Amino acid sequence: MPKWLKDAIFYEIYPQSFYDTNGDGIGDLQGIIEKLDYIRGLGFNALWLNPCFLSPFMDAGYDVQDYYTVAPRYGTNEDLYRLFKEAHKRGMHVILDLVPGHTSDKCKWFTESCKHERNQYSDRYIWTNYVWQRPYEYPLIAGNADRDGCYMLNFFLSQPALNYGFKDITHPEWQMSYTDKRVQATFDEMMNVMRFWLDNGADGFRVDMADSLVKNDEDKSATATLWRRARAMFDKDYPEAMLVSEWCNAPRAINMAGFHCDFILDHHNKLVHNASRNIVNGVNKSYFCKTAHMSAKDTFSCYLDELKQTKDNGYMSVISGNHDTPRISYTLDETETRLYFVMLLTLSGVPFVYYGDEIGMRFIPQPSKEGGYNRTGTRTPMQWDNTKKNLGFSTAETDKLYLDVDRTKNAPCAVQQLQDNGSLINCVRELNALRHAEEDLQADGDMQVLVCEDSGLLCYKRGKNTAVAFNPTDKALKLDFAVDNVLYCVGKITPSGKGTTLEPQTAVIFKL
């Protein structure tokens, strides 16, 4: 296990929307380099960059054309190497987004695979034998290649699925077993991609759709064998590099597949805030919504179960949001957001914060850009300074911007919030500092639930003697023990006999 993960707090950057230094309206690697001191100053010591490889950008870079080349819109390979070096100088780590399940249909591997004549890429993708061989249970595309056959998609139309074989063979005339030597070259090449970037300074990878490799693999055991190979390579040759999966099932991702971390997303875990899924029949059902009155037991059950199953094997990673989900501010007000940050930054595991969430950037609905669809409103440019053009993101004219910035009069901006001691950004900065200072609150500190009630009242112990208590509701709730030696508080606590009343919308971190 990489030692640095114990105290890591990640900051996710969507490169095209972070900071534009050349005035073309699109963020770039130089922009990230110039903002490293800002990020480090807030207490973040690790970065996750969304895809920055050569791509036609039909899916914001998740359609890779060349895994070994930085997209020119962001800079050059040398710029990325320099980013690694500058981050390392500041005691920071940088992981890249790896998309192993599919490529762009413009990738050389795919264009070669489409050829009628057999070549080294013929089996790199999943093909049927004939164009008329098109079982409807699979997403197959016909009539788009010289080769006689249909190819499988992994997601969008421009994303042909790479061939890692099938676990359960239902059409033996064209499906290959995941143990077939003909498909081994696919994962071998993905291992080469990882080695290339690790050798040039990367500190690991976030793996997109990590469980999607082997097909007809219901329990994901076959896919797990591939990632175990990667983990063995990391342990042997890159012991301080990390792998975090977009799997959304920590026991499988960590225990079975060998990932160091797994993202706990909203697919089945109620702990994670997602604005779109928290709205049920027009009612906000987030645990952090003051009027929702959600059960702490119900909210935490899945997280606690997976935490118990993965103890000592790896870390669960909760997020403030990401490039695929509506902004946290979409359905939570600022106080509710502060409560969420208290939880995010005191839970066991490795936390991830999406750029702009530290200032409460808004979700701005708009037409799809680069495959964003309903996610585009979460990908708008970072808001740096309300005294500058385009809020400091870019000097380009508005019609040249990748996406427009928030044009409302009270759009939150980093520079102005940093000057306000009571702002959201300073709340995040203080919580990050506390997590770094208190070993109990770091990734590997034990976690024990002390109170978990249907009323919403929650209190958990971290490490040896640090505790965190929550009352997210609009009504006062009482703990039956005294809260002394407070380290941080949002809201207000009041002594009440031998206990402590948590006033509405309160979170408190304290020593036991």
pLDDT, position 392: 98
pLDDT, position 277: 62
HEC assignment per residue over 141-153? ECCCCCCCCCEEE
Pair of tokens at residue 478: 């009482």
Q: What is the mean pLDDT of each run of 10 residues along the chain (512 residues)?
A: 98 98 98 98 98 98 98 98 98 98 98 97 98 95 96 97 98 97 95 98 98 97 98 98 96 98 73 60 84 90 92 95 92 94 97 98 94 96 98 97 96 98 98 98 96 96 98 96 96 93 98 96
SS3 192: helix
**Domain-wise residue ranges, the chain:** 103-163, 445-511
Task: Give the Cα separation of 86 and 72 in Å (integer).
Answer: 20
Count of Cβ atoms closer than 10 Å to residue 90 Cβ: 12
pLDDT, position 197: 98
pLDDT, position 302: 86
Handedness of CA 279, 282, 285, 288 (dihedral sign): positive
Instruction: Examine domains 103-163 and 445-511 and report if their fold is the same.
Output: no
pLDDT, position 198: 98
Residue 256 DSSP symbol: I
pLDDT, position 275: 52
The tally of CA atoms less than 13 A away on the side-chain side of residue 82 is 14
Q: Give the H/E segment covering residue 500.
A: strand 499-502
Pair of tokens at residue 262: 């797994």
pTM over 0.95: yes
pLDDT, position 346: 98
pLDDT, position 298: 87
CATH of domain 445-511: 2.60.40.1180
Q: Give the H/E segment covering residue 54.
A: strand 53-54
Between strands 315-317 and 458-462, the pairing is unpaired
> Of 308, 280, 304, 309, nearest to 292 (Cα)?
280
pLDDT, position 359: 98
Superfamily covering domain 103-163? Oligo-1,6-glucosidase; Domain 2 (3.90.400.10)
Sequence-ordered list of residues with C-beta below 8 angstroms from that of 446, at least 6 positions apart, any chain: 348, 461, 462, 463
Helix 221-237 and helix 181-199: axis angle, to 10°? 40
- The helix, strand and coil proportions of the chain, stated in percent and rounded to the nearest 5, come to 30, 20, 50
pLDDT, position 260: 98
Task: Give the Cα separation of 138 and 154 in Å (integer).
Answer: 10
Distance (Å) of CA 197 to CA 51, 93, 95, 238, 240: 13, 13, 10, 11, 14
- Which long-range contacts does 269-274 make (Cβ < 8 Å, 24+ apart)? 269/302, 269/303, 269/306, 270/294, 270/298, 270/299, 270/301, 270/302, 271/299, 271/300, 271/302, 271/303, 271/318, 272/318, 272/319, 273/321, 273/328, 273/332, 273/340, 274/325, 274/326
pLDDT, position 496: 87
